[in-house]
Amino acid sequence: MADNLTTTVSSKNQTVDINRALPTVVIGERINPTGRRKLQAELEAHVFNTVQGDAVAQVEAGAKILDVNAGVPDADEPKLIAETIRAVTAVTDAPICIDTANPEALAAALEIYEGKALVNSVNGETRSLETVLPLVKEHGAAVIGLCMDDDGIPALPEKRLAVAEKIIQRAAKLGIATEDVVIDPLVLTVSVESDAALLTLKTTELIVKEFGVNITMGASNVSFGLPDRSAVNAAFMAIAIRAGLTCPITNPLDPDLAVMILAADLALGKDEWGERWIAAYRSRNKPD
């Protein structure tokens, strides 16, 4: 079994270490205009009130890293993502996960970012490997690798493992350390495929055993199309942390999810003397 690796990301003034022996690192997902009309309209107008409000609220709720996506249709994304990152870093020291599928936007964001960013993301497609990984290497960033390639998302855990290996090996050839590759085994909704979550969990276990790398995922994907999504997300998150998930991309403002992550860390020995659990309980129950 591979040793658990430590991925380090940073802002100008703050460093975050990700490792299975440490508490789960929440990557806040809310700075993303997809499905959020108000945020999209503000970004189109180059207004960042909601962006900054979301940044502060997520950090106060426990997010250690903030995912930043400025993918507005027909916008100048390189300019917009750089502006959005500057707006976020003006109100918080939390490190940034740069979320874009546009290589030019990624280059622009990495150029202005002060610190070691996490890039979201590369995958096993030839074009993605050839455009994203050189930028990651040039700027000394860490990168999320998605378990999909030119043939799509594999249906078997072993084939997703093979995609992860391809990304890790390709990164190594460019001089990107294995600990700087965080793998996303991809979770699909159980309302479409009843074994989708189980497949992701099995993939996670295989990747952790083989490479010891850190694991992320958009965990809320599991519940699309279902009622009471928060309960499904929370249950899946706890199981995924046991399987090897270390830095989920999720909504820290969901109270059920936040409590479940703390409880999972406590049960898995990642919260010495229950200090984080007790502090969070007192904070939730303090008098108005």
Q: Report which of residues 288 and 225 the model is more confident about.
A: 225
Assess whether pLDDT exceeds 80 at residue 288: no
The average pLDDT across 254-258 equals 93
> pTM for this structure?
0.97
Does 224 score more than 90 pLDDT? yes
103 class by beta-carbon count within 10 Å (0-12 exposed, 13-18 middle, 19+ buried):
middle
DSSP letters for 17-31: EE-TTSPPPPEEEEE
Would you say residue 1 has pLDDT above 80?
no
CA neighbor of 252 nearest in space, from 264, 266, 234, 236: 234
User: What is the pLDDT, as a whole number, of residue 2?
Assistant: 86
For position 233, what pLDDT does the model report? 95
Position 65 pLDDT exceeds 80: yes
Percent of the chain with pLDDT over 70: 100
Interval 184-207: pLDDT, tens: 999 999 999 999 999 999 999 999
74 pLDDT more than 80: yes
Cβ contact 258:219 at 8 Å: no
Does residue 95 surpass a pLDDT of 80?
yes
Cα separation of 30 and 143, whole Å?
Answer: 19
**Residue 206: other Cβ atoms inside 10 A:** 19
pLDDT at 219 over 90: no
- Quick one: pLDDT at residue 286? 85
Average pLDDT (203-224) is: 96
- Residue 258: phi and psi, rounded to 5, are -60, -45
Contact 87, 49 (CB under 8 A): no
Distances (CA, A) of 63 to 34, 92, 219: 20, 11, 15
118: pLDDT confidence band, cut at 50, 70 and 90? very high
How far is 38 from 33, CA to CA, in rounded Å?
Answer: 8
* pLDDT at 287 (0 to 100): 83
Cα separation of 237 and 171, whole Å? 28
Residue 235: is its pLDDT beyond 90? yes
* pLDDT tens-place string over residues 31-42: 999 989 999 999
Strands (E), 4-158: 7-10, 15-18, 27-31, 65-68, 96-99, 118-123, 142-146
With a cut of 90, say whether residue 246 has pLDDT above it. Answer: yes
Tell me the pLDDT tens digit for each residue of 159-187: 999 999 999 999 999 999 999 999 999 99
**What are the angstrom distances between the C-alpha of 60 and each of 63, 93, 107?**
7, 12, 29
Q: Say if strands 15-18 and 7-10 run parallel, antiparallel, or are unpaired.
A: antiparallel
Taking each helix axis from N to C terminus, what angle separates 49-60 and 77-89, rounded to the nearest 10 degrees? 50
Window from 14-18, 65-69, 174-178, 254-258 with minimum mean pLDDT: 254-258
Distance CA 181, CA 222 (A): 23
The pLDDT assigned to 89 comes to 98
Residue 161 confidence (pLDDT):
98
Task: Residue 64: name the closest of 101, 22, 34, 102 by CA.
Answer: 22
Of the CA atoms within 13 Å of residue 143, those in its CB half-sphere come to 35
Work out whether the CA dihedral 86, 88, 90, 96 comes out positive or negative: negative
The DSSP bridge pattern shows strands 15-18 and 27-31 to be unpaired
Instruction: Read off the pLDDT of each residue in 55-75 and give the average, rounded to a whole number.
Output: 97
